[in-house]
Structure formats: structure tokens, C-alpha cells
A and B are shown apart, each in its own frame.
Chain A
Amino acid sequence: MHDPDFQLLTADEVRKRAIFDALRAPCYALGLTMAGFSTIARECGFDFFMALGTSLGIWGMPGQVAFASLYSVGASLFVIFIAVSLANMRMLLMVISASDLMNLESHRLALWKKVFWMHFLAVTAWANLSMAQRKYPPHLLLAYYQGFAVTIFVFGILGTIIGFFMSDLLRPEILRIVIFVTPIYILLMIINARQKVNRLAVVLGGGLSPVVFEYTGEWAVLVAGFVGGSLAYLYGLHIAKWHLGKTQ
């Protein structure tokens, strides 16, 4: 399944490769996306340290934007807490899924170390990890993730800092093209997932969420994710059974 040449690499070599993978494209797109967040945050009344603290501490775009827009209307602390936690609930599943991909248990890390590393996990790093799974053996995926996730984190934070002070960094005509890079990049990556079931889940979730959004608003992601993922999984179970029946 993975390239045999990669079996012999050391963790440090894999970390370096991951840094280069990040430097090829995703880190710039993410840096500019975060610069975009910073611009929005300033318009919403954030000072510099709030914008920086939000990027450093949340590190998840949808939750950050939800937070900034609620802050600008002076929402209660309770509403902010609930809205941000709903926007970032997907972190739970991504962390479980990433731990499974990297076989995190086998590394015998202390709980705080696992929590520390998972702080850098957001959509881009998670999607990239599922892509790297095609290439690298499982025991090297933690090193890959560390190199990749920390690199894009650094660029994301730099983007936040630069974006706050230079809201006119790029002309809107160019900025809108740059902002389009991240969603397309991640969609192209996850549609290439190794398992067929997960590819089907991508198609179903992506198809359902804009339709469900018409009826449920922001809940669409959770509803479409749950329904699309479960349907894909059930379909996979039946196909597996069918294959099993054929070989027996």
C-alpha cells in the first residue's frame, strides 16, 4: 500500500519532507486565509492581541469567524461559547480520526503531549495527513504531521499578524482568487481518500450540506456530516459483505 522506499526513512527525514510539502503551496494559501480573518477581525472591533490570541488559541477558521462576528454585535459570553463550540465540534471527530491514522497510541505519549500536538490539528493538516497515509507507513505519520502542521501553523500566525496591519495587502480581485485556493485544495485532497467509503462520504457530505443549509442554517455541517458519513459507512458495510459472500 505504501511506497517501500519510505519504510526506511527516519522520523527526522519525514519531518523535513513534511515541511517541504507544506512549503509547496498550502502554507501560503493558509497564511493569506488567516490574513483574511485578521482583516475581518479588525473590522469587528478586535485589537491586535485579540486577533492573535484567537488564531493561536482556536486555530480553526469557521469558529474564529463565528467568534469575530458575534463579538462585533456584543453577543453574551454564553452565546459566544455555545456558537464557537458548535462551529468547532468537528475537531472532536478530526482528532479521533487523526489519532487513528497516526496510530498515536503506539507512540506512548503522555496525555498533555497528545493534547499539545492535537492543538495544531485543523482541516488542512488533517486532510494532508490522510493524503500522506498513501505514501508513508503508519509509524512515521506522527512525524509527518508534526512537520506539516507546525509549518502551516507558523504561516497562519504570520498571516494573522501581517493581515491585521495590512488590510489592503492584496487587491480584492486578487484576494478572492487566493482565498479560493484553500477550499479547493482540501476538497481535491479528501476526494482522493484511500478508502472508497471515505471518498463516498466526501461526495455525500459535500452534496448534502448546501441543500440542508437551506433548512437548518449553520447546523447543516453537523447534519450533512452525520447523514453522509453514516450512509457511506453503511454502504461500505454492505459492499464488504457482498464481496465476502462472493469469495466464500
Chain B
Amino acid sequence: MITENMEQHLFLYSFLAVLLAILATFIWRFLGVVIASRIPADSPMMGWINAIAYSMVSGVLMLIVVYPSGVLSTTSLDQRLFGLFVGLVVVSLFKRLILALCCGVFAFALAVSFF
């Protein structure tokens, strides 16, 4: 009886947890759609929001590069920064995204395998 109760409790907790996690993300997307329709394009406000969005996304990714979790954390910071550096150099020289991506990842793979 007790185990059955506990099982029911766990099921409810899991179900509500997923639902709330989805809701916690949905509100931002929904608010974004509502707010976007109220800010005129080309307004200074839009320029500012765009700059923050770029900056924030770059911040998220640099955190993954500098402080990774999981399997990526078995590599060293130098190896990850080396891969990123090679990618950045290639993209600024040749303006070819996929080429730069391949070079960066290849450089990272070499660094991870041999250094």
C-alpha cells in the first residue's frame, strides 16, 4: 500500500515537474511574441535588445567552452580554446563558415588526441 502511494506520488511529482519546466520556458517565448509586436522595427529599443541577445548567446556558449560539464570536461581549457581560435582565424581570413567549423573541430580533435 505504501509503495503504491509512493509510486503515485513520484508519478505526480515527475508529471508536474515536466509540466512546470515546459511552462517556465513557454512564458518567455509567449512574452517575446507579445512584446515583439509592440516594439517598432528599427527603433533604438530593438537595436539594444538585439545587441543583448547576441551578447547573451555568446555568453552561454563561452561558458560551455570554458566551464563545460559532462564528457567535454575531460578535455583541457587550452585544447578547447585552441579549437575555437583556429575556427575564428579561418573564418576571419576566408569568410567560409563550414570550412572554419571543420578546421576548428579538426584542430580540437588533434589537440585532444595528441597533446
Chain A residues in the interface with B (C-beta under 8 A): 24-25, 36, 40, 47, 50, 53-54, 57-60, 62-63, 65, 67, 71, 77, 80-82, 84-85, 88-97, 99-100, 103-105, 111, 114-115, 118-119, 121, 123, 126-127, 130-131, 172-173, 175-177, 179-181, 183-193, 195, 197-199, 201-210, 213, 220-222, 224-230, 232-233, 236-237
* A67, B21: Cβ atoms closer than 8 Å: yes
Least distance between B74 CB and chain A CB atoms (Å): 6
Contacting residue for A54 out of B21, B37, B41, CB 8 A? B21
What is the interface of chain B mostly: helix, strand, loop, or mixed? helix
* A198, B83: Cβ atoms closer than 8 Å: no
Is B2 located at the chain interface by the 8 A CB criterion? no
* B13, A123: Cβ atoms closer than 8 Å: no
A81-B23, A96-B53 given; 14 more Cβ-contact pairs under 8 Å: A90-B57, A93-B53, A97-B50, A123-B61, A126-B57, A184-B108, A187-B87, A192-B95, A197-B51, A201-B54, A205-B58, A210-B62, A224-B55, A236-B47
Q: With the chains together, A188 CA to B89 CA distance in Å?
A: 10
- Chain A residue at smallest Cβ distance from B45: A96
Q: With the chains together, A29 CA to B74 CA distance in Å?
A: 19
Is B6 located at the chain interface by the 8 A CB criterion? no
Top-10 shortest CB links A-B: A95-B32, A225-B56, A205-B55, A229-B52, A209-B59, A57-B22, A99-B36, A228-B55, A229-B55, A85-B24
* B56, A93: Cβ atoms closer than 8 Å: yes
